[in-house]
Structure 1
């Protein structure tokens, strides 16, 4: 059984967040699918700019906890563009056994609480 690579986990998280953004009426201006090249999404909604940082988080790490320093950097950058800043942590786990890596052959469980707005 081949575990998903870091890039594949990231792509999975990007797809989950991207679908949610589309459903909420966001218009994508830029999409960066490279892990740790932030923000992953620059989007427009109601004529307002939004920066979204996406992270694939594997069990047992809590997907709503984020790197404060990183998000402060992204926030400071967003302020220059009058943009709002969000963190989207997508928890991913093997559905058969949470302690096993996510594999190509197994189903997975998603723990995603939605966009978390980062303010100063």
Structure 2
């Protein structure tokens, strides 16, 4: 019997996906926070500009591109105090064999990530 990923483990998985993407794009990490419900997860510098990135692990059938507009606007207001740009990074995660099944350790899963979205 396999063990399901916890919410924190799924969040960490999403953080790794986004972190690698940000690295490839040349973002420099100022701070990283992988604690659940503590936003933003990444505070980065790129071209001498500050960027706040909120990461969310999203389970199938939810759409990883869809975010809570009200919450992200609040986040953007906060970022503006620091003259920072705000981004949302939704990472969809599903069981590779059966999308409806839970994501379990030791089993294959699929990632649906299309990059960061500026707010």
Compute the TM-score of the two structures, normalised by the length of structure 2.
0.97
Could you tell me which runs of 5 or more consecutive residues in structure 1 were left unpaired when the two chains were aligned.
Answer: none
Q: Distance in 2 between matches of 1:47 and 1:88?
A: 21
Could you tell me which runs of 5 or more consecutive residues in structure 2 were left unpaired when the two chains were aligned.
Answer: none
What's the Cα RMSD here?
0.6
State the Cα distance separating 1:30 from its structure 2 match: 0.7
The superposition leaves residues 66-92 of structure 1 with CA deviations (integer Å, 9 ceiling, x where unpaired) of 011210111000111111100000000
Q: Distance in 2 between matches of 1:34 and 1:69?
A: 21
SS of equivalent to 1:20: helix
Runs of 4+ deviating beyond 4 Å:
none
Compute the TM-score of the two structures, normalised by the length of structure 1.
0.97
| 2:76 equivalent to 1:75 | yes
The superposition leaves residues 32-75 of structure 1 with CA deviations (integer Å, 9 ceiling, x where unpaired) of 00111000000000000000000000000000000112101110
The answer for the alignment partner of 2:12 in structure 1 is 11
SS of equivalent to 2:56: strand
Report the count of equivalent residues: 118
